[in-house]
Amino acid sequence: MTAVTPEKAPSLRPPADGVGELTIVPHRRPWRLVTGLAALVLSAQFLHGLAVNPGWDWPTFRTFVFSDSILRAVGVTLQLTAYGTVLGFALGAVIAALRLSGSPILRTIAWTYVWAFRSIPLIVQLVFWFNLAYLYRRIGIGIPFGPSFVSFGTMDLLGALGAAVLGLALHQAAYAAEIIRGGVLAVDAGQLEAAAALGIPRFRQAWRIVLPQAMRGILPNAANEVISLFKGTSIVYVMAIGELFYQVQVIYGRTGRVVPLLMVATVWYVLLTTALSLVQYWVERYFARGSERHAPPTPWQRLRAAVTEIKEKRA
Amino acid sequence: MSGDGTTAMVEVRGVHKRFGRLEVLRGIDLDVRPGTVTVVLGPSGSGKSTLLRAVNHLEKLDQGYVRVDGELIGYRRVGDKLRELPEREVLKQRTRLGFVFQNFNLFPHLTVLENLVEAPVGALGVPKDKARARALELLERVGLADKAAEYPRRLSGGQQQRVAIARALALEPKVLLFDEPTSALDPELVGEVLDVIKDLARTGTTMIVVTHEIGFAREVADTVVFMDGGVVVEQGAPARVLDDPQHERTRAFLAKVL
């Protein structure tokens, strides 16, 4: 760079050609308007169809959507989801810990578990657990390869619902383990080092320092898994368990009204998935504390800010 | 065992450390007297950070030993062997050594106060209210009492490092270890961190500081250690090592950084 003397310094005033005084106009996008309108028309057509097409048979929908048998079936679906989630993630956490442990034997066992349960289709597993009594008539606790002290009939221990929960939880655990492991690996190694340098005991390091930070990476994937499990429970209809999808099939088998009853199931699945998504939003927000300089506003805060802005503009 | 001012607070003897085929430490001997400041200088890759990490057993040793206040760190003598201690014991020993990292490594999901309270409560079992009171005192000392409820990421780098120093002090350690405490900071923030360390030096805290700040070494150090290629090339009073170095390697390094 060469030194510029004050006399030679370029003038900061706009040139005298008048360009500096012209109005600035943003680029126009006429196609946005056209495509937007087209989308609106198509959406209106679809909604109109929902309302007037007699095939949807809304009176039948209304009869069944809050009927006792459907509500009970929704309960079973929620129960299967809850058990599958809690047991699956608890076992998944253990497997993730094994995979991250220093012992090659434990690491291999955990790896094999994940490999096996991700390889076998869920529906095959479910039918297999349902037929466990064929392989093992009785299950006992005792000395390995030796005598057992107590034993139970497999069918008493594991009814159809038990077999379904077992299958869902074992399947879920394989995926949960990988999600948890991924979250833990994403935590900066310096965090563990700092905790170790401060002499914080091992369990507390994991519980207070690593897990809360890992949760940020775990949560979006875990929520995906819970939602997919929630809908995936419909697969246990193969075991004749009265969850939502099975119950709907029973009813339309009897009445022949397939479409409105499928809508009953659809509406329940959509409603509950929406509820789960809301829970996800708030839990994620909780674990994001400290991660950014300023916490992003909640949707409620955003709405209020928008309303205030409009009011101020009017005033 | 110590405290008479003649025995070393930190005693490093014949320490070797290898990473695969690379020998990072090749026989280090070092004594740090209680209440003194030792500044370790050297080009990057000379092994100074590894040495510091070896002192609180963040690195295992291949040979040699480290003693702090007469106690072997990370090992226990069994006959003619040094057997590594179980992790629980090592963690207990580390509560007597404060470590300050180049990248601060504050816990981002905990507030400043929670960062300072975590180790005294979790590792030493200090009652919470007592740990809090002590933490607030320490924040006062590093000039950040008003940031107690803040999350670390909302602070500047210099403030974060001052919190990290307070966090290390919360365990009331016998020795403070600093691993390039100002290397991750913008130039205008270096001074505030060095001021805190200088203040600690005046109050007689035993410290080992790995740094590139020659001016700081000249002003604060009782002993300057120059390392290169995994060995201590020379050590002594700052005036001697910095102004009248005896070795060609020291001269070459100082010529580059001054």
Contact B116, B166 (CB under 8 A): yes
**What is the mean predicted confidence (pLDDT) over B145-171?**
96
Out of B58, B151, B154, the one facing A196 most closely (by C-beta) is B58
pLDDT for residue A1: 45
Mutating which of A198, A200, A210, A294 best tests the B interface, going by the most B Cβ atoms within 10 A?
A198
Residue B224 vs residues B31, B37, B40, B203, B210: alpha-carbon distances, Å:
12, 9, 6, 19, 10
Query: Scanning every residue of chain B, which has its alpha carbon at the shortest distance from the alpha carbon of A286?
Result: B109
**What is the mean predicted confidence (pLDDT) over B103-110?**
96
The DSSP secondary-structure symbol of A19 reads G
Contact A194 B56 (CB under 8 A): no
**What is the mean predicted confidence (pLDDT) over B181-210?**
94
Average pLDDT of chain B to the nearest whole number: 94
The DSSP code sequence of chain B is ---SSSS-SEEEEEEEEEETTEEEEEEEEEEE-TT-EEEEE--TTSSHHHHHHHHTTSS--SEEEEEETTEESSEEEETTEEEEPPHHHHHHHHTTEEEE-TT----TTS-HHHHHHHHHHHHH---HHHHHHHHHHHHHHTT-GGGTTS-GGGS-HHHHHHHHHHHHHTT--SEEEEESTTTTS-HHHHHHHHHHHHHHHHTT-EEEEE-S-HHHHHHH-SEEEEEETTEEEEEE-HHHHHHS--SHHHHHHHHHH-
**pLDDT of B90 over the 90 cut:** yes
**What is the mean predicted confidence (pLDDT) over B237-258?**
92
* Predicted confidence band of residue B3 (pLDDT cuts 50, 70, 90): very low
Q: Quick check: A293 contacting B, CB < 8 Å?
A: yes
pLDDT for residue A143: 78
Question: A with B: how many residue pairs have Cβ under 8 Å apart?
Answer: 81
Nearest alpha-carbon partner for B96 in B37, B9, B182, B160 = B9
Contact A197 B94 (CB under 8 A): yes
Assign 3-class secondary structure to B197-220: HHHHHHCCCEEEEECCCHHHHHHH
Contact B105 A202 (CB under 8 A): no
Contact B56 A197 (CB under 8 A): yes
Residues of B in contact with A292 (CB under 8 A): 153
Out of A194, A200, A293, the one facing B105 most closely (by C-beta) is A194
Tens digits of residue pLDDT in A287-311: 888 877 666 677 788 888 888 888 8
pLDDT for residue A240: 85
* Predicted confidence band of residue B4 (pLDDT cuts 50, 70, 90): very low
Against a cut of 0.95, is the pTM above it? no
Query: Scanning every residue of chain B, which has its alpha carbon at the shortest distance from the alpha carbon of A213?
Result: B109
pLDDT for residue A302: 83
Tens digits of residue pLDDT in B15-58: 999 999 999 999 999 999 999 999 999 999 899 999 999 999 99
Flag residues of chain A having pLDDT under 70.
1-16, 154-157, 293-296
* Predicted confidence band of residue B97 (pLDDT cuts 50, 70, 90): very high
Letter for the amino acid at A35? Answer: T
Decide which of B101 and A28 is more confident: B101
